[in-house]
Amino acid sequence: MTERISIVENILSANDRLAEENHARINAAGVFSINLMASPGAGKTSLIEQTLPLLKDKMRIAVVDGDIATSLDADRAAAAGAQVSIQVNTGGECHLDAVMLHGALNQLDLTRFDLLMVENVGNLVCPAEFRLGTHKSVLIASVPEGADKPYKYPGMYRGVDALIINKIDLLPYVNFDMDYFRHGVEVLNPGVITFPLSCRTGDGMDAWINWLIKNTKR
Ligand SMILES: Nc1nc2c(ncn2[C@@H]2O[C@H](COP(=O)(O)OP(=O)(O)OP(=O)(O)O)[C@@H](O)[C@H]2O)c(=O)[nH]1
Ligand SMILES: [Mg+2]
């Protein structure tokens, strides 16, 4: 048992070392980068699809899409206007890790871009444990998932730099207790910047886009 824990720790520290290398590389190129995490279907690819048309005339954007088996999401990002869209097939793994992002960065001339959006695999547990080396971690919660998710998946909510509450167009139809949700978030991640929005209607997208623009001009 003790040995198993030490192996896990070694894997994570090896990952962290490579994440630092990724970070240095992204920084040196002057690119702002985000790691988009969420449960399956929360709207990661939809957010990328909505963001690209609003920013593609202002900045050059690359997308790295993690997926267990398909290139469907990378294809959607390319169709929405990403200058470059790279598919990373995790071969069944439930998360991206720093090695996988490293491989994707090897295919990119980072100096050609202002913003790098990484879509992690849909999962509310594993992605939180593997740093990639991006500047900001962004979690997308969506209202049909239920308001109890911060309580059930604290590791994910604790570590993120920004929180999107997606699918607010569905609030009239689902039983989502916003106060309960926000209280759970506040306990884990006090003051985290939060963007309620709808990728369906576009409501709330302005604040998210402004946050990206502000950070990209670091
Ligand atoms: N009503 C509504 N539906 C949405 C919204 N955003 C996304 N969806 C729908 O939710 C479903 C899943 O969206 P995706 O963007 O594929 O979700 P994802 O997080 O990328 O999913 P995985 O990559 O499979 O984990 C799709 O049918 C979207 O059309 C929204 O704001 N409102
Ligand atoms: Mg997706």
Q: What is the pLDDT of residues 49-74, one digit of tens each?
A: 999 999 989 999 999 999 999 999 99
Q: Tell me the per-residue pLDDT of 172-196, one tens digit each, with 9 for 90 and over.
A: 999 999 999 999 999 999 999 999 9
Residue 69: exposure state from Cβ atoms within 10 A (0-12, 13-18, ≥19): exposed
Residue 170 CA to ligand 1 center (angstroms) comes to 12
Nearest CA to ligand 1 atom 21: 41
Nearest CA to ligand 1 atom 8: 43
Residue 77 CA to ligand 2 center (angstroms) comes to 9
Domain architecture of the chain: domains with CATH: 13-216 (3.40.50.300)
- Nearest-5° Cα angle at 35, 148 to 174: 30
Contact 155, 125 (CB under 8 A): yes
pLDDT at 217: 79
Nearest ligand (C-alpha, residue 47): 1
